[in-house]
Structure formats: C-alpha cells, structure tokens
C-alpha cells in the first residue's frame, strides 16, 4: 500500500513484482501509451515471464517506484489518484536497462516546485532498496527551465498578448491590425479563456511572454488551434513547441476533445513545429485522408480601378473589399 510522505497529498508505492506494479499503474500508463511505452512495455514483458515461471521477479532485477498525488473529491468521500512519476529498473539480457523515469504530466508542467519533493521521495526509496552500482544512467523527459512557465493568459498579460497579436497580424501582411484592434482581440481571447502563453525571462531578467497559442474555434469533439506565434527575439528556443504540446494535451485530456486540428501554410516555420509536436500530414509526411490542402483567395481592387471610381462618382463602380481579420 502507498505510504504517506511528509505532505499528506503526495504518496509513493514500491513494487518488486510486475503484476503488482501493473495492478495500480496500468490504467494510468495505457491512457498515455505512446509516451509511457518505455515503462509499460518492459513491465508487460516482465509480467509475462512472471506468469510463466509462477514466481515474482526479484527486487534486484525489476523494481518500480510510483509517485502519486491524491486529492479528495469535493463531491464525495472518494480520493482521486494522479500518477505523477514512475521510476523503473528492469532486467534485460545485457545486465539491465538504465533507470527509466516517466511522468504522467507534460514536460511544461515539470517545474522545480513540482519536481523537488516527488523526486526526493523516489531517490530515498532507491537508496534504501537498490545498490548504487546498479544505476549506471537515468533516462527521463527534460523539465521546464526553472525561470519558465506555461499558463492560461490572464488580464495582467493583456498588453503583452496584444503585442503578440499585433506582431502575428503584421507578419501575415494581409491581415494587419491597428493597436486598438489588437487590444480588443487580446481582451476577447483572455476573457474567453482561449489563449495560453509561454513565459520566460529576457536578457535583462524581466518576465516576458515569449509565445502564445490560441484555440478559438471549438465544437463538441474537435478543437482548432487558431494562432501560434513567438516574438522575434525569442525564436529558435523551442518555446512554441513546448507550448503547442502542452495546449494540445490540455485540449485532448482536460477539455475532452477527440481531435485537434489546425491550418498552417506550407513552408512556414510553424509547420515544422506542429510536425514535431505530432500533427499528421506535415513536412512531407504521409497524409491521412482528413489532411487536405486549402487555398485562400483574396479580393482587392487595383489602384487604377480606385482612380476610375473617383472620376466616375455618379456611376455605380466597384469598391475595395472591406477587409476583416482571422
């Protein structure tokens, strides 16, 4: 059974049997099977061997530590369990795998404040249970830099979000925004809770919003990413990639969407970011049936036509289109 740590909402459990480990962790791991393969696959293999031999694997060969966060449900007396980390040591034909560390949270959530006590609990248990010579390396997801954070944009972020909205519109050439309209757009996105931001520190140590991702179109089972933008001074540091990954996972797991879609221009640097996050059919990759090419055609009267319109003020003539924004 899990043992309580000094903080009552963070617990750990230790398992030397793959069957015992999977009895508590399988549901959590299978929900994130693509990311948990490094933990789940060796555990299933060890369980199969255990069932064939009829005996549990020894602690020295297969060993798992689970770190949990528990929260009491406000609706009932039930306790909700979140699997935060798994620390796994597994045997193989060559002396054993590295220490594999998996988290049930995206890397953008792995802040120092979140990691510290949880990892300390696991390290203490490893020290008590495993000879130090056994751990020749550790393999784990990279955490968020200590000065960075990902969050839903709030009213205090309005000015910086408006600046990013203006920058994105300015880069698009055809859909520019005046400063007042940038503020209006940013205000609506923040009020609707449809914009997320990546915060970091600039060279002067000031907290800045480097990237934004918006999802302003949503139906029952599908959400669309409608804006992705990184300020010029912060590009090339994978902030947009981290933020895109976090927002996509949020839409799928927390908002219950079945699919997340987006439109991105061929050859745009954002296309490569989306491809790296896992969006299909981009950067020359094979296309599923649902991935299609779309074309936008704009309409605008030429300068000569506008001059003709002025000279023939009494006649019905073509007028410039009234340009919107999206």
Half-sphere exposure at residue 82, Cβ-oriented, CA atoms within 13 angstroms:
12
- The pLDDT assigned to 274 comes to 94
Q: Is the pLDDT of residue 310 over 50?
A: no
Comparing CA positions, the residue from 172, 171, 174, 191 lying closest to residue 183 is 191
DSSP character for 97?
-
Comparing CA positions, the residue from 187, 243, 250 lying closest to residue 223 is 250
Q: Which residue has the tokens 């074309």?
A: 295
52-56, long-range: CB < 8 A, 24+ apart: 56/16, 56/17, 56/19, 56/20
Task: Compute the mean pLDDT over every residue in the chain, rounded to the nearest whole number.
Answer: 85
- The pLDDT assigned to 54 comes to 74
Mean pLDDT of the 144-152 span: 86
Comparing CA positions, the residue from 148, 166, 229 lying closest to residue 195 is 229
pLDDT bin (cut points 50, 70, 90) of residue 76 is low
Share of the chain above pLDDT 70, in %: 83
Comparing CA positions, the residue from 155, 184, 156, 150 lying closest to residue 169 is 184
Q: What is the pLDDT of residues 261-306, one digit of tens each?
A: 999 988 899 999 999 888 999 999 999 888 999 988 877 655 555 4
- The pLDDT assigned to 175 comes to 63
Mean pLDDT of the 193-202 span: 96
Q: Is the pLDDT of residue 319 over 70?
A: no
User: Does residue 198 contact residue 210 with C-beta atoms inside 8 Å?
Assistant: yes
Mean pLDDT of the 78-100 span: 88
Q: Is the pLDDT of residue 209 over 70?
A: yes
Q: What is the pLDDT of residues 6-35, one digit of tens each?
A: 344 899 999 999 999 999 999 999 988 888
Mean pLDDT of the 311-321 span: 51
| Minimum mean pLDDT range among 77-81, 133-137, 141-145, 298-302 | 298-302
Q: Which residue has the tokens 């009267």?
A: 301
Rounded Cα gap, residues 282 and 288, in angstroms: 10
> Could you tell me the domains of the chain?
3-139 (no CATH), 149-277 (3.40.630.30)
pLDDT bin (cut points 50, 70, 90) of residue 256 is confident
The pTM (predicted TM-score) of the whole model is 0.65
Q: Is the pLDDT of residue 258 over 50?
A: yes
Q: What is the pLDDT of residues 157-179, one digit of tens each?
A: 999 999 999 999 888 766 666 77
- The pLDDT assigned to 52 comes to 86
With a CB cutoff of 8 Å and minimum separation 6, the contacts of 292 are: none
Per the model's pLDDT, the better-predicted residue between 257 and 197 turns out to be: 197
Share of the chain above pLDDT 90, in %: 54
Q: Supply 241's token pair.
A: 């990639």
- The pLDDT assigned to 78 comes to 65
Helix, coil or strand: residue 19? helix
Rounded Cα gap, residues 258 and 274, in angstroms: 18
- The pLDDT assigned to 151 comes to 92
């Amino acid at each position: 059974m899990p043992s309580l740590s000094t903080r009552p909402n963070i617990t750990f459990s230790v398992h030397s049997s793959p069957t015992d480990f999977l009895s508590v962790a399988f549901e959590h791991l299978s929900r994130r099977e693509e990311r948990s393969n490094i933990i789940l696959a060796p555990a299933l293999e060890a369980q199969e061997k255990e069932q064939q031999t009829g005996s549990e694997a020894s602690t020295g060969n297969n060993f798992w530590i689970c770190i949990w966060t528990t929260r009491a449900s406000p609706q009932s007396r039930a306790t909700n369990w979140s699997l935060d980390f798994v620390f796994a040591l597994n045997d193989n034909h060559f002396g054993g795998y590295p220490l594999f560390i998996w988290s049930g949270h995206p890397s953008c959530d792995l802040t120092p404040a979140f990691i510290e006590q949880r990892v300390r609990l696991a390290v203490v248990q490893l020290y008590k249970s495993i000879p130090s010579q056994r751990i020749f390396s550790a393999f784990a997801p990279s955490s968020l830099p200590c000065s960075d954070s990902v969050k839903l944009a709030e009213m205090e972020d309005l000015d910086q979000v408006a600046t990013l909205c203006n920058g994105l519109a300015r880069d698009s050439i055809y859909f520019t925004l005046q400063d007042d309209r940038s503020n209006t757009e940013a205000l609506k996105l923040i009020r609707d809770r449809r914009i997320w931001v990546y915060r970091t520190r600039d060279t002067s140590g000031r907290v800045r919003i480097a990237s934004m991702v918006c999802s302003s179109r949503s139906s029952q089972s599908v959400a669309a990413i409608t804006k992705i933008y990184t300020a010029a001074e912060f590009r090339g540091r994978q902030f947009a990639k981290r933020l895109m990954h976090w927002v996509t996972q949020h839409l799928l797991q927390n908002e219950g969407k079945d699919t997340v879609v987006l439109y991105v221009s061929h050859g745009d640097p954002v296309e490569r970011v989306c491809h790296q996050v896992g969006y299909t059919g981009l950067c020359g990759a094979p296309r599923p049936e649902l991935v299609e090419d779309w074309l936008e055609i704009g309409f605008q009267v030429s300068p000569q036509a506008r001059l003709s319109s002025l000279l023939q003020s009494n006649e019905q003539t073509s007028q410039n289109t009234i340009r919107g924004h999206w």
